[in-house]
Amino acid sequence: MPEPFEFSFNMEGVDRNALLTEAAERLNVLSRDMAGDASIEGDSPLAVLVKELRGDQAEFAELPVVEKITDETFTSANLQIGEHYKQLTRDHSLYCVNFPVYLHAQRGWGFNKVEVLVSFNPEDTKPTTRPKAIRILPEKKFETQMQGGMHLEVGIDENLDFSAKSGNLAAQAGGAQVSASAGAGAKLSTGLNLKMGPFVYDVKRAKIEHSAVGLEKVFWRLDGAEFFQESDFPLVIVLQVPKETKEVKIAAVMHASRQFSFLTADFQDAVKELGRRFRNFFEAGAPIQHTKEWDITSRL
């Protein structure tokens, strides 16, 4: 079993397309053996299915969206500047960093699990100069709403916290739409008119796990939903950067995978015949990996 905040499958040394191609070839051989006819040409239905998985895509955008959080962020929304913000900005600059992703799953099978790791200035050995994520989104406190299939809009409020409004049981309060159905811990606020957001979530049944805030890296695991390319699940961080830090670099890794438990028993039985390497890969959901590095220094 993986550690709580490690990837569910180790993709090191795995050439996904080559593995899928080899698996399809083995499935063809297995199909001919079961039919007792080695002269059968063309791909078996299971081999076709496996080859289609080579068209999966899971990618980060070319650049994250970086917005500096300043006094004007609050005053332009008629919000007071909070004490927490004043304390943090004495020695740090604050940024809202959004990591858009692109997902395309073959055959309309949405990915069921998305895992993401982002690390800030990973090569910096001096802890006092490394940026830290002091707020992250999606956040565990919104899990109840996501499991209920609500339309969520989340923004940063005057306390530098994420606050949400949902599409269910909505009411008007102070000019901002809020919801009486929000779960415990998911604060509602009129601060949703800030420039930082709203960030929209339309995924359903998502289970959210993430590492603690205040660290130099963030790990998310979003599990149980169906993530298609039209689904919205922004990955957002409020980044605290020491004023003495001269550059900010980000390294990111994403794994996207799907459940095969709903497929035919024939497929599941065939995978067991392919050997441990293939069986482990398919049991992990045929994960696809994407890595990206950014230098956002010029955008700070």
Taking 70 as the threshold, does the pLDDT of residue 36 lie above it?
Answer: no
3-state secondary structure at position 29: helix
The one-character DSSP state at 230 is T
- pLDDT, position 184: 40
Domain locations along the chain:
56-261+288-299
Give, in order, the Cα–Cα distances in Å from 8 to each of 4, 26, 211. 9, 25, 15
**Beta carbons within 10 angstroms of residue 10's beta carbon:** 13
User: Where are the alpha helices (H) located in 4-124, listed in sequence order?
Assistant: 16-35, 45-52, 71-75, 83-88
CATH class of this structure's domain 56-261+288-299? mainly beta
> Whose structure tokens read 């979530």?
201
Q: Predicted confidence band at 118 (pLDDT cuts at 50, 70, 90)?
A: very high
Please classify residue 238 by burial: count the beta carbons closer than 10 Å to its beta carbon, then call 0-12 exposed, 13-18 middle and 19+ buried: buried
Q: Is the pTM of this model over 0.75?
A: yes
User: Where are the alpha helices (H) located in the chain, listed in sequence order?
Assistant: 16-35, 45-52, 71-75, 83-88, 143-147, 265-272, 276-283
- pLDDT, position 120: 97
Helix and strand element counts for the chain (H, E): 7, 16
The rounded percent of the chain whose pLDDT value lies above 70 is: 82
Q: Is residue 167 a contact partner of residue 202, using CB atoms and an 8 Å limit?
A: no
Taking 50 as the threshold, does the pLDDT of residue 137 lie above it?
Answer: yes
Q: Is residue 128 a contact partner of residue 91, using CB atoms and an 8 Å limit?
A: no
Residue pLDDT, tens place only, 238-281: 999 999 999 999 999 999 998 876 566 777 788 888 889 999 99
Taking 90 as the threshold, does the pLDDT of residue 201 lie above it?
Answer: no
